[in-house]
Structure 1
Amino acid sequence: MASISSHRPLSFEVAGEPLVIKGFPTTRWRVVDLAPGEAGPWTLDLQLYMTERAAYRFNLTSRTPRLFIRAGEAGATPRPDAITASQEVAAGWLDGEHRVLEVGMPLAIQAWLEAYLAQHGEAPDEGRKKKRKGAGRARELQA
């Protein structure tokens, strides 16, 4: 069986749309023309990691699978520097006060991600472990 590559270059453009929210002018940024390859004004390498397999599966089974692009500091002109298919990674970027742009995941990338998961297996279930009876509780001492 041929090995599935763990990275893909994706190119895209970032477009700004001026709008007014509660009387204040602002710009809504969005990703347009996302496509595999290196043809667009921005190109980032989508790298897949074994440790993120559960997050990839969660994303693929959502109603609309997404890709997330870290695009510099919130409030500044977007400067994309990373892309992921993991909502957990994107949430970490948001916690770091970065701007994160979302875009629908192209079918070709969904198929590639499915092939990656098929080759490397699904992530092990991280379900809650049962505690032993009395574990974690102070035990009463009998006098």
Structure 2
Amino acid sequence: MSPISSSRSLSFDVAGEPLAIKGFTTTRWRIVDLVSGLAGPWTLDLQLYMTERAAYRFNLTSATPRLFVRAGEAGAQPVPAAITASQDVAAGWLDGEHRVLEVDMPLAIQAWIEAYLAHHGEAPAEGRKKKRKGAGRAREIGA
């Protein structure tokens, strides 16, 4: 069985459209023309990691699997710097006050991630850890 590549180059463009909210005008940015390869104005490598397998499975089983692009600081012109299929990674970017743009995951990328998961196996189930007797409680000190 040949190894499944853990990296894929994706090209896209970023488009802005004016949006009026309660009398204020802002720009809503979105990813457009996402394709595999090096064809677009922006190209990023989607790298898959063994530690994110559970997040990839969660994303693939959602109603609409998504890709997430870290695109610089919120409030500035978007500058795409990274792309992921993990909602956990995207949430970390948001916590760091980065702009994160979402786009529907193409079927070819879904199939590639499925093949990656099939080749490397699903993430092991994280069971509950057993507590030691008395763990987490203040111990009485004998007098």
| TM-score normalised to structure 1 length | 0.94
Q: In structure 2, how many angstroms separate the alpha carbons of the residues matched to 1:98 and 1:135? A: 39
Aligned-CA RMSD value:
1.2
Q: How far off is 1:142 after superposition? A: 6.2
The alignment covers a number of residue pairs equal to: 143
The percent identity for this pair of structures is 84
Partner-residue secondary structure (3-state), 1:111: helix
Q: Which residue of 1 aligns with 2:27?
A: 27
Deviations 1:25-61 (A, max 9, x none): 1000001111111111111000011111111111111
Work out the CA distance in 2 between the residues paired with 1:131 and 1:66.
37
Gaps of 5+ in 1: none
- Which residue of structure 2 aligns with residue 96 of structure 1? 96
Aligned to 2:133, what secondary structure does the other structure show?
coil
Letter in 2 for 1:26: T
Distance of 1:60 and 1:102 partners within structure 2: 14
Unaligned runs of 5+ in 2: none
Query: Who is 1:113 aligned against?
Result: 113
Counting only pairs closer than 5 Å after superposition, residues 30-109 of structure 1 correspond to structure 2 as: 30-109=30-109
Instruction: Extract structure 1 runs of 4+ deviating beyond 6 A.
Output: none
Give me the TM-score of the superposition, normalised by structure 2: 0.94
**Partners of 1:17 and 1:113 in 2: how far apart?**
31
Structure 2 letter corresponding to 1:20: A
Q: Secondary structure at the match of 1:20?
A: strand
Q: Give the Cα separation in 1 of the matches to 2:140 and 2:82.
A: 54
